[in-house]
Chain A
Amino acid sequence: MNPVRDMSKEKPAKREATVIRDLSTVLKEAPAGAWVALSADETRIVGTGSTMQAAALQAQLNHEYHPVLVKMPLPGEGLAAGVR
């Protein structure tokens, strides 16, 4: 017989809150499915394109020489990214 575990007296696990990196405001105007170049401080969009090079080139034209590139997912699209 399995002993019944009385969880009512157990302390809840200590959860340490983490502030997520929320880019949703910065990226809200970013085209879905596009490559987006963010400024190095990730506060503004400095380029977009269908390829990473196109986005990076636009960033350079906007005088951002160290962009952070990200591929935007499609809105409402979840990821199930197992790849083998």
Chain B
Amino acid sequence: MRFPYTKLFLNAQPRPYLNVFLGKGFHTSDVVMALVDSGADYPIFPMDMANSDYLNLDLVKAESWNFSGTTGLMQTAKLAGVWMTILEPNGTKLCEVLTMCAFCDTFKMSGGVLLGQIGFFSCFKTSFYQPEQHFEIEQWPAIAV
């Protein structure tokens, strides 16, 4: 599936964003625009997304993940398995994958939400066509074990 790059500001560089939402049990989040970022280890969402208004995740016993961004500032997120639904450019559902996401209440990245290696790139073959300002994702075939 092909997606155009998204431009948020008049003078901003178009970037590869996807519209996604998360689900856990009967709970779902709102749709968010997430930056496809091969430099991130995990998909990272604001902690707001995990709370009772959205996914109602119990993260008390969840695995902690320490990470740092380009600022070098160490931050801590909680990891949880959730369903992530990718939307097509026209807003219809493309697919849903069970994936591991990080939730962080101090994450200050301007993009808001990142889709990273484990949990996004591990699920989708992703090809960037920067000169043409689009990218393509294709779900990896299930690996037989």
Contact = CB atoms under 8 A, between A and B. Distances in A.
B119 to A, nearest CB: 13
Chain A interface size, as a band, is 35 or more
Nearest to A56: B30
B112 A70 contact: yes
Q: Nearest 4 CB-CB pairs, A to B?
A: A71-B112, A82-B39, A73-B110, A83-B40
A62 interface: no
Interface in B34-68: 35, 37, 39-41, 44, 46, 48-49, 53-54, 67-68
A27 B8 CA distance: 7
Contacts of B6: 20-23
Given A17-B132, A19-B4, 18 more contacts: A18-B129, A20-B5, A21-B4, A22-B7, A24-B8, A40-B91, A51-B48, A52-B32, A56-B30, A66-B30, A73-B8, A73-B110, A73-B111, A79-B111, A83-B39, A84-B39, A84-B40, A84-B67
A72 interface: yes
Interface of B: 2, 4-15, 17, 19, 30-33, 35, 37, 39-41, 44, 46, 48-49, 53-54, 67-70, 89, 91, 109-114, 116, 129, 131-134
A79 B40 contact: no
A15 B30 contact: no
Interface of A: 15-24, 27-28, 33, 35, 37, 40-41, 51-53, 56, 66-84
A68 B7 contact: no
A68 B32 contact: yes
